[in-house]
Structure 1
Protein backbone atom coordinates (compact mmCIF):
# COMPACT_ATOMS: atom_id res chain seq x y z
CA UNK A 1 0.00 0.00 0.00
CA UNK A 2 1.23 3.53 -0.67
CA UNK A 3 2.60 5.66 2.13
CA UNK A 4 0.70 8.74 3.29
CA UNK A 5 3.27 10.99 1.59
CA UNK A 6 2.13 9.50 -1.73
CA UNK A 7 -1.54 10.12 -1.05
CA UNK A 8 -1.73 13.13 -3.39
CA UNK A 9 -0.16 11.14 -6.23
CA UNK A 10 -2.60 8.29 -5.57
CA UNK A 11 -5.44 10.80 -5.71
CA UNK A 12 -4.11 12.12 -9.03
CA UNK A 13 -4.13 8.58 -10.46
CA UNK A 14 -7.61 7.94 -9.02
CA UNK A 15 -9.06 10.95 -10.81
CA UNK A 16 -7.15 10.15 -13.98
CA UNK A 17 -8.92 6.81 -14.08
CA UNK A 18 -12.35 8.46 -14.11
CA UNK A 19 -12.47 8.32 -17.89
CA UNK A 20 -14.10 6.14 -20.48
CA UNK A 21 -12.32 3.86 -22.89
CA UNK A 22 -13.53 2.61 -26.29
CA UNK A 23 -15.79 -0.43 -26.22
CA UNK A 24 -13.37 -2.59 -28.29
CA UNK A 25 -10.76 -2.07 -25.56
CA UNK A 26 -13.21 -3.14 -22.86
CA UNK A 27 -14.21 -6.23 -24.84
CA UNK A 28 -10.61 -7.22 -25.54
CA UNK A 29 -9.66 -6.84 -21.87
CA UNK A 30 -12.62 -8.95 -20.76
CA UNK A 31 -11.88 -11.67 -23.30
CA UNK A 32 -8.21 -11.81 -22.32
CA UNK A 33 -9.09 -11.90 -18.61
CA UNK A 34 -11.46 -14.81 -19.21
CA UNK A 35 -8.44 -16.97 -20.11
CA UNK A 36 -7.23 -16.76 -16.51
CA UNK A 37 -10.51 -17.11 -14.63
CA UNK A 38 -10.61 -16.18 -10.96
CA UNK A 39 -6.84 -15.61 -10.87
CA UNK A 40 -7.28 -12.17 -12.46
CA UNK A 41 -7.45 -9.20 -10.09
CA UNK A 42 -7.23 -6.46 -12.74
CA UNK A 43 -6.14 -5.55 -16.24
CA UNK A 44 -4.03 -2.45 -16.90
CA UNK A 45 -4.43 -0.82 -20.32
CA UNK A 46 -1.47 1.32 -21.37
CA UNK A 47 0.71 2.24 -24.34
CA UNK A 48 0.39 4.07 -27.63
CA UNK A 49 -3.25 3.13 -28.27
CA UNK A 50 -4.29 4.63 -24.95
CA UNK A 51 -2.33 7.79 -25.68
CA UNK A 52 -3.55 8.28 -29.25
CA UNK A 53 -7.00 6.64 -29.09
CA UNK A 54 -6.24 4.70 -32.29
CA UNK A 55 -7.26 1.04 -32.30
CA UNK A 56 -7.85 -0.18 -35.85
CA UNK A 57 -4.71 -1.68 -37.44
CA UNK A 58 -2.89 -1.18 -34.14
CA UNK A 59 -1.88 -3.49 -31.28
CA UNK A 60 -3.37 -2.78 -27.84
CA UNK A 61 -1.14 -3.17 -24.78
CA UNK A 62 -2.34 -4.75 -21.53
CA UNK A 63 -0.91 -6.07 -18.29
CA UNK A 64 -3.05 -8.83 -16.78
CA UNK A 65 -2.54 -8.77 -13.01
CA UNK A 66 -3.12 -12.11 -11.27
CA UNK A 67 -3.08 -13.18 -7.64
CA UNK A 68 -0.76 -16.12 -8.36
CA UNK A 69 0.91 -17.71 -11.36
CA UNK A 70 -0.01 -21.20 -10.22
CA UNK A 71 -3.70 -20.29 -10.27
CA UNK A 72 -3.38 -18.48 -13.60
CA UNK A 73 -1.95 -21.30 -15.71
CA UNK A 74 -2.93 -24.84 -16.56
CA UNK A 75 0.59 -25.53 -17.82
CA UNK A 76 3.11 -25.63 -14.99
CA UNK A 77 6.05 -24.49 -17.14
CA UNK A 78 4.29 -21.21 -17.92
CA UNK A 79 3.85 -20.51 -14.21
CA UNK A 80 7.52 -21.29 -13.57
CA UNK A 81 8.66 -19.11 -16.49
CA UNK A 82 6.46 -16.24 -15.31
CA UNK A 83 7.87 -16.47 -11.78
CA UNK A 84 11.52 -16.79 -12.85
CA UNK A 85 11.48 -14.05 -15.50
CA UNK A 86 8.30 -11.98 -15.30
CA UNK A 87 6.25 -11.17 -17.20
CA UNK A 88 5.07 -13.73 -19.74
CA UNK A 89 3.88 -12.09 -22.97
CA UNK A 90 1.09 -13.33 -25.24
CA UNK A 91 -0.83 -12.29 -28.34
CA UNK A 92 -4.62 -12.04 -28.63
CA UNK A 93 -7.01 -11.04 -31.36
CA UNK A 94 -10.76 -10.91 -31.72
CA UNK A 95 -13.51 -9.30 -33.75
CA UNK A 96 -15.25 -6.51 -31.86
CA UNK A 97 -17.48 -3.66 -33.01
CA UNK A 98 -16.86 -4.54 -36.63
CA UNK A 99 -13.04 -4.44 -36.48
CA UNK A 100 -10.20 -6.84 -35.81
CA UNK A 101 -8.79 -5.97 -32.40
CA UNK A 102 -5.21 -7.13 -31.84
CA UNK A 103 -3.58 -7.09 -28.43
CA UNK A 104 -0.27 -7.86 -26.81
CA UNK A 105 -0.53 -8.59 -23.12
CA UNK A 106 1.78 -9.45 -20.27
CA UNK A 107 0.92 -11.49 -17.19
CA UNK A 108 2.26 -10.26 -13.85
CA UNK A 109 1.32 -11.10 -10.28
CA UNK A 110 0.09 -8.40 -7.92
CA UNK A 111 3.10 -9.13 -5.71
CA UNK A 112 5.54 -8.72 -8.60
CA UNK A 113 3.79 -5.53 -9.70
CA UNK A 114 4.32 -4.07 -6.22
CA UNK A 115 8.01 -4.95 -6.24
CA UNK A 116 8.69 -3.83 -9.81
CA UNK A 117 7.33 -0.33 -9.29
CA UNK A 118 9.36 0.12 -6.11
CA UNK A 119 12.70 1.85 -5.68
CA UNK A 120 14.20 -1.53 -4.72
CA UNK A 121 13.73 -2.84 -8.27
CA UNK A 122 16.81 -2.32 -10.46
CA UNK A 123 15.01 -3.16 -13.69
CA UNK A 124 13.16 -0.17 -15.19
CA UNK A 125 10.61 -1.85 -17.44
CA UNK A 126 7.54 -1.81 -15.17
CA UNK A 127 7.98 1.47 -13.29
CA UNK A 128 8.96 3.27 -16.51
CA UNK A 129 5.73 2.09 -18.18
CA UNK A 130 3.29 2.81 -15.40
CA UNK A 131 4.54 6.30 -14.59
CA UNK A 132 2.97 6.98 -18.00
CA UNK A 133 -0.80 7.09 -18.55
CA UNK A 134 -2.61 3.83 -17.92
CA UNK A 135 -6.13 2.72 -17.04
CA UNK A 136 -7.35 -0.08 -14.80
CA UNK A 137 -9.99 -2.46 -16.12
CA UNK A 138 -11.54 -5.63 -14.67
CA UNK A 139 -10.64 -4.82 -11.04
CA UNK A 140 -12.10 -7.47 -8.75
CA UNK A 141 -13.08 -5.07 -5.95
CA UNK A 142 -12.52 -1.59 -4.51
CA UNK A 143 -9.69 -2.72 -2.25
CA UNK A 144 -7.76 -4.25 -5.14
CA UNK A 145 -8.34 -1.13 -7.18
CA UNK A 146 -6.93 0.95 -4.34
CA UNK A 147 -3.85 -1.25 -4.06
CA UNK A 148 -3.14 -1.01 -7.80
CA UNK A 149 -3.68 2.76 -7.72
CA UNK A 150 -1.04 2.90 -5.01
CA UNK A 151 1.39 0.83 -7.07
CA UNK A 152 0.93 3.07 -10.11
CA UNK A 153 1.59 6.10 -7.88
CA UNK A 154 4.73 4.33 -6.65
CA UNK A 155 5.87 4.00 -10.29
CA UNK A 156 5.70 7.79 -10.65
CA UNK A 157 7.67 8.36 -7.45
CA UNK A 158 10.26 5.74 -8.39
CA UNK A 159 10.76 7.21 -11.86
CA UNK A 160 11.26 10.77 -10.68
CA UNK A 161 13.30 9.97 -7.57
CA UNK A 162 15.71 7.90 -9.66
CA UNK A 163 16.23 10.51 -12.38
CA UNK A 164 16.70 13.23 -9.75
CA UNK A 165 19.42 11.20 -8.06
CA UNK A 166 21.24 11.18 -11.40
CA UNK A 167 20.39 14.77 -12.38
CA UNK A 168 19.49 16.58 -9.14
CA UNK A 169 19.34 20.08 -10.64
CA UNK A 170 16.32 19.28 -12.83
CA UNK A 171 13.19 21.16 -11.81
CA UNK A 172 11.49 21.98 -15.14
CA UNK A 173 8.81 19.38 -15.89
CA UNK A 174 9.71 18.94 -19.56
CA UNK A 175 13.45 18.56 -18.94
CA UNK A 176 12.92 16.11 -16.11
CA UNK A 177 10.47 13.80 -17.87
CA UNK A 178 12.39 13.79 -21.16
CA UNK A 179 15.60 12.94 -19.29
CA UNK A 180 13.81 10.20 -17.37
CA UNK A 181 12.40 8.60 -20.52
CA UNK A 182 15.74 8.81 -22.30
CA UNK A 183 17.49 7.07 -19.42
CA UNK A 184 14.90 4.31 -19.12
CA UNK A 185 14.79 3.72 -22.88
CA UNK A 186 18.58 3.37 -22.77
CA UNK A 187 18.14 0.74 -20.05
CA UNK A 188 16.16 -1.59 -22.34
CA UNK A 189 16.60 -3.15 -25.75
CA UNK A 190 14.69 -0.48 -27.61
CA UNK A 191 14.05 -0.15 -31.32
CA UNK A 192 12.96 3.47 -30.90
CA UNK A 193 14.41 6.37 -32.88
CA UNK A 194 16.24 9.20 -31.14
CA UNK A 195 13.90 11.73 -29.59
CA UNK A 196 11.35 9.20 -28.34
CA UNK A 197 11.54 10.61 -24.80
CA UNK A 198 10.45 14.05 -25.99
CA UNK A 199 7.71 12.49 -28.12
CA UNK A 200 6.29 10.60 -25.14
CA UNK A 201 6.31 13.74 -23.03
CA UNK A 202 4.65 15.89 -25.69
CA UNK A 203 1.84 13.38 -26.23
CA UNK A 204 0.66 14.04 -22.66
CA UNK A 205 2.42 17.28 -21.81
CA UNK A 206 -0.43 18.75 -19.80
CA UNK A 207 -0.72 15.58 -17.76
CA UNK A 208 2.98 15.44 -16.90
CA UNK A 209 3.10 19.15 -16.07
CA UNK A 210 0.16 18.77 -13.68
CA UNK A 211 1.65 15.64 -12.11
CA UNK A 212 5.13 17.09 -11.54
CA UNK A 213 4.36 19.47 -8.63
CA UNK A 214 2.24 16.78 -6.97
CA UNK A 215 5.14 14.33 -7.18
CA UNK A 216 7.59 17.00 -5.99
CA UNK A 217 5.48 17.52 -2.87
CA UNK A 218 5.45 13.76 -2.26
CA UNK A 219 9.24 13.70 -2.59
CA UNK A 220 9.62 16.70 -0.30
CA UNK A 221 11.29 18.79 -3.00
CA UNK A 222 11.15 22.54 -3.21
CA UNK A 223 12.65 25.10 -5.59
CA UNK A 224 15.99 25.04 -3.77
CA UNK A 225 18.44 22.52 -5.23
CA UNK A 226 20.82 20.77 -2.86
CA UNK A 227 23.96 19.55 -4.58
CA UNK A 228 24.70 15.90 -3.78
CA UNK A 229 28.03 14.75 -2.46
CA UNK A 230 30.55 13.26 -4.87
CA UNK A 231 29.90 9.86 -3.39
CA UNK A 232 26.12 10.19 -3.91
CA UNK A 233 26.64 11.41 -7.50
CA UNK A 234 29.01 8.54 -8.27
CA UNK A 235 26.60 6.03 -6.70
CA UNK A 236 23.75 7.29 -8.91
CA UNK A 237 25.90 6.95 -12.04
CA UNK A 238 26.92 3.40 -11.09
CA UNK A 239 23.32 2.37 -10.39
CA UNK A 240 22.12 3.71 -13.74
CA UNK A 241 24.99 1.89 -15.48
CA UNK A 242 23.88 -1.31 -13.74
CA UNK A 243 20.31 -0.61 -14.85
CA UNK A 244 21.44 -0.39 -18.47
CA UNK A 245 23.28 -3.71 -18.29
CA UNK A 246 20.47 -5.38 -16.39
CA UNK A 247 17.83 -3.98 -18.73
CA UNK A 248 19.48 -5.13 -21.93
CA UNK A 249 20.17 -8.62 -20.64
CA UNK A 250 16.69 -9.07 -19.16
CA UNK A 251 15.02 -7.58 -22.26
CA UNK A 252 16.90 -10.02 -24.49
CA UNK A 253 15.93 -12.99 -22.33
CA UNK A 254 12.30 -11.81 -22.35
CA UNK A 255 12.35 -11.60 -26.14
CA UNK A 256 13.58 -15.18 -26.34
CA UNK A 257 10.89 -16.32 -23.89
CA UNK A 258 8.21 -14.36 -25.76
CA UNK A 259 9.07 -16.22 -28.96
CA UNK A 260 7.80 -19.38 -27.20
CA UNK A 261 4.63 -17.89 -25.69
CA UNK A 262 3.68 -15.41 -28.40
CA UNK A 263 1.77 -16.81 -31.39
CA UNK A 264 3.59 -15.53 -34.46
CA UNK A 265 6.21 -14.07 -32.14
CA UNK A 266 9.05 -13.81 -34.65
CA UNK A 267 6.78 -12.16 -37.23
CA UNK A 268 5.49 -9.71 -34.64
CA UNK A 269 8.97 -8.78 -33.46
CA UNK A 270 10.09 -8.23 -37.06
CA UNK A 271 7.09 -5.97 -37.66
CA UNK A 272 7.69 -4.09 -34.42
CA UNK A 273 11.36 -3.50 -35.15
CA UNK A 274 10.67 -2.30 -38.70
CA UNK A 275 7.89 0.00 -37.50
CA UNK A 276 10.05 1.73 -34.91
CA UNK A 277 13.56 1.61 -36.37
CA UNK A 278 13.13 1.06 -40.11
CA UNK A 279 15.31 -2.07 -40.00
CA UNK A 280 13.69 -4.82 -42.11
CA UNK A 281 14.03 -8.49 -41.24
CA UNK A 282 13.25 -11.33 -43.61
CA UNK A 283 11.49 -14.00 -41.55
CA UNK A 284 12.05 -17.53 -42.85
CA UNK A 285 10.13 -20.73 -42.16
CA UNK A 286 13.15 -22.02 -40.23
CA UNK A 287 12.97 -19.00 -37.93
CA UNK A 288 9.28 -19.65 -37.28
CA UNK A 289 9.98 -23.30 -36.42
CA UNK A 290 12.98 -22.51 -34.21
CA UNK A 291 12.19 -19.12 -32.65
CA UNK A 292 14.65 -19.43 -29.76
CA UNK A 293 17.64 -20.30 -31.95
CA UNK A 294 16.56 -17.67 -34.43
CA UNK A 295 16.35 -15.06 -31.70
CA UNK A 296 19.88 -15.80 -30.51
CA UNK A 297 21.44 -15.71 -33.99
CA UNK A 298 19.53 -12.58 -35.00
CA UNK A 299 20.42 -10.58 -31.94
CA UNK A 300 23.91 -9.41 -32.93
CA UNK A 301 22.97 -8.94 -36.58
CA UNK A 302 20.09 -6.66 -35.57
CA UNK A 303 22.26 -4.75 -33.14
CA UNK A 304 24.80 -4.04 -35.88
CA UNK A 305 22.01 -2.75 -38.11
CA UNK A 306 20.86 -0.40 -35.38
CA UNK A 307 17.60 -2.16 -34.52
CA UNK A 308 18.52 -2.13 -30.82
CA UNK A 309 20.24 0.58 -28.81
Structure 2
Protein backbone atom coordinates (compact mmCIF):
# COMPACT_ATOMS: atom_id res chain seq x y z
CA UNK A 1 0.00 0.00 0.00
CA UNK A 2 1.48 3.41 -0.95
CA UNK A 3 2.26 5.88 1.79
CA UNK A 4 -0.30 8.55 2.57
CA UNK A 5 0.52 12.11 1.60
CA UNK A 6 0.52 13.17 5.26
CA UNK A 7 3.12 10.53 6.14
CA UNK A 8 5.27 11.50 3.15
CA UNK A 9 5.16 15.16 4.18
CA UNK A 10 5.90 14.33 7.83
CA UNK A 11 8.91 12.21 6.83
CA UNK A 12 10.28 14.85 4.47
CA UNK A 13 9.87 17.66 6.99
CA UNK A 14 11.66 15.53 9.61
CA UNK A 15 14.56 14.51 7.36
CA UNK A 16 18.07 15.64 8.36
CA UNK A 17 19.20 19.12 7.41
CA UNK A 18 22.44 21.04 7.65
CA UNK A 19 23.32 21.42 11.34
CA UNK A 20 24.16 25.09 10.87
CA UNK A 21 20.72 25.73 9.37
CA UNK A 22 19.12 23.87 12.30
CA UNK A 23 21.06 25.99 14.79
CA UNK A 24 20.00 29.11 12.92
CA UNK A 25 16.35 28.04 13.13
CA UNK A 26 16.61 27.66 16.90
CA UNK A 27 18.25 31.06 17.23
CA UNK A 28 15.54 32.60 15.08
CA UNK A 29 12.77 31.12 17.23
CA UNK A 30 14.51 32.52 20.31
CA UNK A 31 14.05 36.04 18.93
CA UNK A 32 10.28 35.67 19.50
CA UNK A 33 10.05 33.71 22.76
CA UNK A 34 6.41 34.57 23.44
CA UNK A 35 5.16 33.71 19.97
CA UNK A 36 7.35 31.18 18.11
CA UNK A 37 5.57 27.99 17.13
CA UNK A 38 7.61 26.51 14.26
CA UNK A 39 10.51 27.30 11.94
CA UNK A 40 10.65 25.84 8.42
CA UNK A 41 13.65 25.84 6.09
CA UNK A 42 12.93 25.82 2.36
CA UNK A 43 14.25 26.94 -1.00
CA UNK A 44 17.31 26.30 -3.13
CA UNK A 45 19.72 26.30 -0.15
CA UNK A 46 18.07 23.09 1.04
CA UNK A 47 19.97 21.28 -1.71
CA UNK A 48 23.34 22.94 -1.09
CA UNK A 49 26.20 21.32 0.82
CA UNK A 50 28.08 24.58 1.46
CA UNK A 51 25.89 27.37 2.84
CA UNK A 52 28.62 30.00 3.13
CA UNK A 53 27.79 33.11 1.14
CA UNK A 54 24.22 31.98 0.42
CA UNK A 55 20.97 33.54 1.56
CA UNK A 56 18.96 30.93 3.48
CA UNK A 57 15.16 31.00 3.48
CA UNK A 58 13.00 30.38 6.54
CA UNK A 59 9.37 30.74 7.56
CA UNK A 60 8.78 31.57 11.21
CA UNK A 61 5.31 30.49 12.29
CA UNK A 62 3.97 32.38 15.30
CA UNK A 63 0.91 32.00 17.51
CA UNK A 64 -0.36 35.43 16.46
CA UNK A 65 1.07 38.76 15.38
CA UNK A 66 0.28 40.63 18.59
CA UNK A 67 2.27 38.05 20.56
CA UNK A 68 5.16 38.43 18.11
CA UNK A 69 5.34 42.23 17.91
CA UNK A 70 3.27 43.62 20.75
CA UNK A 71 1.34 46.72 19.70
CA UNK A 72 3.84 47.62 17.00
CA UNK A 73 2.69 48.65 13.52
CA UNK A 74 4.47 45.50 12.34
CA UNK A 75 1.61 43.41 13.71
CA UNK A 76 -0.88 45.31 11.57
CA UNK A 77 1.35 45.11 8.49
CA UNK A 78 1.78 41.35 8.94
CA UNK A 79 -1.96 40.84 9.36
CA UNK A 80 -3.00 43.01 6.38
CA UNK A 81 -0.26 42.00 3.91
CA UNK A 82 1.26 38.73 5.10
CA UNK A 83 4.06 37.88 5.48
CA UNK A 84 6.54 40.35 6.94
CA UNK A 85 10.10 39.58 5.82
CA UNK A 86 13.26 40.33 7.80
CA UNK A 87 17.01 39.63 7.52
CA UNK A 88 18.81 37.43 10.05
CA UNK A 89 22.44 36.48 10.72
CA UNK A 90 23.79 33.69 12.91
CA UNK A 91 27.26 32.17 13.21
CA UNK A 92 28.42 33.54 9.89
CA UNK A 93 25.31 32.59 7.90
CA UNK A 94 22.78 35.05 6.49
CA UNK A 95 19.11 34.46 5.91
CA UNK A 96 15.79 36.07 5.32
CA UNK A 97 12.69 34.90 7.15
CA UNK A 98 9.00 35.41 6.59
CA UNK A 99 6.58 35.60 9.52
CA UNK A 100 3.12 34.05 9.41
CA UNK A 101 0.64 33.13 12.11
CA UNK A 102 -0.43 29.50 12.43
CA UNK A 103 -3.86 30.45 11.11
CA UNK A 104 -2.48 32.31 8.09
CA UNK A 105 0.01 29.53 7.33
CA UNK A 106 -2.81 26.98 7.22
CA UNK A 107 -5.04 29.25 5.10
CA UNK A 108 -2.32 30.22 2.61
CA UNK A 109 -1.43 26.57 1.97
CA UNK A 110 -5.06 25.75 1.17
CA UNK A 111 -7.39 26.37 -1.79
CA UNK A 112 -8.79 29.32 0.20
CA UNK A 113 -5.55 31.26 -0.43
CA UNK A 114 -5.88 34.36 -2.59
CA UNK A 115 -2.31 34.07 -3.88
CA UNK A 116 0.18 31.32 -4.71
CA UNK A 117 3.20 32.45 -2.71
CA UNK A 118 2.93 30.00 0.20
CA UNK A 119 1.44 26.83 -1.27
CA UNK A 120 3.68 27.03 -4.35
CA UNK A 121 6.74 26.98 -2.07
CA UNK A 122 5.58 24.33 0.38
CA UNK A 123 4.46 21.94 -2.36
CA UNK A 124 8.24 21.67 -2.77
CA UNK A 125 10.64 20.08 -0.26
CA UNK A 126 11.09 21.76 3.12
CA UNK A 127 12.38 20.91 6.59
CA UNK A 128 10.72 21.57 9.92
CA UNK A 129 13.80 22.47 11.96
CA UNK A 130 12.21 23.69 15.17
CA UNK A 131 8.81 23.36 16.85
CA UNK A 132 7.63 24.68 20.19
CA UNK A 133 5.78 21.45 21.06
CA UNK A 134 4.10 18.47 19.44
CA UNK A 135 0.90 20.39 18.70
CA UNK A 136 2.88 23.07 16.84
CA UNK A 137 4.68 20.32 14.91
CA UNK A 138 1.47 18.57 13.92
CA UNK A 139 -0.18 21.83 12.84
CA UNK A 140 2.81 22.72 10.67
CA UNK A 141 2.81 19.27 9.06
CA UNK A 142 -0.93 19.44 8.37
CA UNK A 143 -0.62 22.89 6.80
CA UNK A 144 2.25 21.81 4.53
CA UNK A 145 0.37 18.64 3.56
CA UNK A 146 -2.38 20.75 2.00
CA UNK A 147 0.01 22.60 -0.34
CA UNK A 148 0.45 19.84 -2.94
CA UNK A 149 -3.29 19.08 -3.25
CA UNK A 150 -3.97 22.80 -3.66
CA UNK A 151 -1.45 23.11 -6.50
CA UNK A 152 -2.52 19.91 -8.24
CA UNK A 153 -6.25 20.64 -8.02
CA UNK A 154 -5.80 24.08 -9.61
CA UNK A 155 -3.45 22.67 -12.27
CA UNK A 156 -5.74 19.79 -13.20
CA UNK A 157 -8.21 21.73 -15.41
CA UNK A 158 -5.28 23.39 -17.22
CA UNK A 159 -3.21 20.25 -17.89
CA UNK A 160 -3.50 18.28 -21.10
CA UNK A 161 -2.38 15.12 -19.34
CA UNK A 162 -3.51 14.03 -15.89
CA UNK A 163 -0.52 11.98 -14.71
CA UNK A 164 1.21 13.25 -11.59
CA UNK A 165 4.32 14.72 -13.22
CA UNK A 166 2.33 16.55 -15.90
CA UNK A 167 0.15 18.12 -13.22
CA UNK A 168 3.21 19.25 -11.27
CA UNK A 169 4.84 20.78 -14.34
CA UNK A 170 1.66 22.59 -15.32
CA UNK A 171 1.14 23.82 -11.77
CA UNK A 172 4.64 25.23 -11.35
CA UNK A 173 4.53 26.89 -14.78
CA UNK A 174 1.31 28.62 -13.78
CA UNK A 175 2.58 29.67 -10.36
CA UNK A 176 5.68 31.25 -11.92
CA UNK A 177 3.33 33.40 -13.98
CA UNK A 178 1.55 34.51 -10.82
CA UNK A 179 4.51 36.22 -9.15
CA UNK A 180 7.35 38.55 -10.01
CA UNK A 181 10.13 36.05 -10.55
CA UNK A 182 13.82 36.63 -11.14
CA UNK A 183 14.43 33.08 -12.35
CA UNK A 184 14.68 32.06 -16.01
CA UNK A 185 11.60 30.79 -17.84
CA UNK A 186 12.62 27.13 -17.64
CA UNK A 187 13.05 27.22 -13.86
CA UNK A 188 9.48 26.06 -13.22
CA UNK A 189 10.05 22.84 -15.18
CA UNK A 190 13.48 22.17 -13.69
CA UNK A 191 11.91 21.92 -10.21
CA UNK A 192 10.21 18.66 -11.16
CA UNK A 193 13.01 17.39 -13.37
CA UNK A 194 15.51 17.75 -10.50
CA UNK A 195 13.71 15.04 -8.48
CA UNK A 196 10.96 13.38 -10.53
CA UNK A 197 10.70 10.41 -8.17
CA UNK A 198 9.82 12.70 -5.27
CA UNK A 199 7.16 14.53 -7.26
CA UNK A 200 5.74 11.29 -8.64
CA UNK A 201 5.38 9.80 -5.15
CA UNK A 202 3.85 12.96 -3.65
CA UNK A 203 1.60 13.51 -6.65
CA UNK A 204 0.29 9.96 -6.72
CA UNK A 205 -0.33 10.06 -2.97
CA UNK A 206 -2.29 13.31 -3.35
CA UNK A 207 -4.32 11.88 -6.23
CA UNK A 208 -5.00 8.68 -4.28
CA UNK A 209 -6.38 10.56 -1.29
CA UNK A 210 -8.51 12.77 -3.53
CA UNK A 211 -7.85 16.38 -4.47
CA UNK A 212 -9.96 19.35 -3.44
CA UNK A 213 -12.70 19.93 -6.02
CA UNK A 214 -11.16 21.37 -9.17
CA UNK A 215 -12.91 24.27 -10.90
CA UNK A 216 -14.28 23.85 -14.40
CA UNK A 217 -11.78 24.76 -17.16
CA UNK A 218 -13.25 28.21 -17.85
CA UNK A 219 -13.49 28.97 -14.14
CA UNK A 220 -9.94 27.72 -13.65
CA UNK A 221 -8.67 30.02 -16.40
CA UNK A 222 -10.41 32.96 -14.73
CA UNK A 223 -8.98 31.94 -11.34
CA UNK A 224 -5.43 31.75 -12.70
CA UNK A 225 -5.74 35.12 -14.43
CA UNK A 226 -6.89 36.61 -11.14
CA UNK A 227 -4.04 34.90 -9.26
CA UNK A 228 -1.56 36.23 -11.82
CA UNK A 229 -2.82 39.82 -11.64
CA UNK A 230 -3.14 39.83 -7.88
CA UNK A 231 0.12 37.97 -7.32
CA UNK A 232 2.21 40.45 -9.26
CA UNK A 233 0.61 43.43 -7.54
CA UNK A 234 1.13 41.74 -4.17
CA UNK A 235 4.79 41.24 -5.07
CA UNK A 236 5.16 44.97 -5.70
CA UNK A 237 3.34 45.84 -2.46
CA UNK A 238 5.47 43.40 -0.47
CA UNK A 239 8.57 44.87 -2.04
CA UNK A 240 7.47 48.32 -0.91
CA UNK A 241 6.72 47.02 2.58
CA UNK A 242 10.09 45.27 2.78
CA UNK A 243 11.85 48.59 2.23
CA UNK A 244 10.66 49.48 5.75
CA UNK A 245 11.17 46.10 7.43
CA UNK A 246 14.23 44.73 5.65
CA UNK A 247 17.59 46.40 6.21
CA UNK A 248 19.51 46.30 2.95
CA UNK A 249 16.47 44.97 1.14
CA UNK A 250 17.24 46.72 -2.13
CA UNK A 251 20.73 45.19 -2.20
CA UNK A 252 19.21 41.74 -1.62
CA UNK A 253 16.75 42.36 -4.47
CA UNK A 254 19.61 43.24 -6.82
CA UNK A 255 21.66 40.24 -5.64
CA UNK A 256 18.81 37.82 -6.24
CA UNK A 257 18.03 39.16 -9.70
CA UNK A 258 21.69 39.17 -10.73
CA UNK A 259 22.13 35.61 -9.45
CA UNK A 260 19.12 34.17 -11.24
CA UNK A 261 18.88 36.31 -14.37
CA UNK A 262 22.55 36.91 -15.15
CA UNK A 263 22.17 40.68 -15.00
CA UNK A 264 24.65 43.18 -13.53
CA UNK A 265 22.43 45.61 -11.65
CA UNK A 266 24.34 47.97 -9.35
CA UNK A 267 22.52 49.90 -6.62
CA UNK A 268 23.30 53.59 -6.44
CA UNK A 269 23.83 55.40 -3.11
CA UNK A 270 20.60 57.38 -3.46
CA UNK A 271 18.65 54.12 -3.92
CA UNK A 272 20.01 52.84 -0.60
CA UNK A 273 19.11 56.14 1.04
CA UNK A 274 15.52 55.97 -0.23
CA UNK A 275 15.03 52.22 -0.75
CA UNK A 276 11.29 52.37 -1.45
CA UNK A 277 11.70 54.83 -4.30
CA UNK A 278 14.85 53.06 -5.45
CA UNK A 279 13.15 49.68 -5.59
CA UNK A 280 10.18 51.04 -7.49
CA UNK A 281 12.41 52.78 -10.04
CA UNK A 282 14.00 49.42 -10.83
CA UNK A 283 10.73 47.82 -11.85
CA UNK A 284 10.28 49.31 -15.37
CA UNK A 285 13.86 48.45 -16.34
CA UNK A 286 13.52 44.94 -14.93
CA UNK A 287 10.30 44.29 -16.85
CA UNK A 288 11.77 45.67 -20.10
CA UNK A 289 14.90 43.59 -19.71
CA UNK A 290 13.02 40.45 -18.76
CA UNK A 291 14.92 40.07 -15.49
CA UNK A 292 11.63 39.78 -13.63
CA UNK A 293 8.78 37.81 -15.22
Scaled by the length of structure 1, the TM-score of the pair is 0.89
After superposition, where does 1:164-243 map in structure 2 within 5 Å?
Answer: 164-167=156-159, 169-219=160-210, 232-243=216-227
**CA distance in structure 2 between the aligned counterparts of 1:180 and 1:128, rounded to whole angstroms:** 8
Q: CA deviation at 1:74?
A: 4.7
Shift in CA distance, 102/75, structure 1 to aligned 2, threshold 3 Å = farther
Matched, 1:140 2:132: yes
Could you tell me whether the CA contact under 8 Å between 1:51 and 1:133 is conserved in 2? Answer: no
Match of 1:122?
Answer: 114
**CA distance in structure 2 between the aligned counterparts of 1:188 and 1:269, rounded to whole angstroms:** 14
Task: Number of aligned residue pairs: give it.
Answer: 290
Matched, 1:299 2:283: yes
**CA distance in structure 2 between the aligned counterparts of 1:128 and 1:233, rounded to whole angstroms:** 20
Q: CA deviation at 1:82?
A: 0.7
Q: CA deviation at 1:170?
A: 2.4
Match of 1:113?
Answer: 105
Match of 1:61?
Answer: 57
Task: Please list every run of 5 or more consecutive structure 2 residues that lacks an aligned counterpart in the other structure.
Answer: none
RMSD of aligned Cα (Å): 1.8
Shift in CA distance, 193/151, structure 1 to aligned 2, threshold 3 Å = same
User: Deviation per CA, 1:54-98, whole angstroms, max 9, x where unpaired?
Assistant: 412211110000001111115611111111100011111122xxx
1:8 to 4, 16, 19: 4
Scaled by the length of structure 2, the TM-score of the pair is 0.94
- Once superposed, which parts of structure 1, at least 4 consecutive aligned residues long, lie more than 4 Å away? none
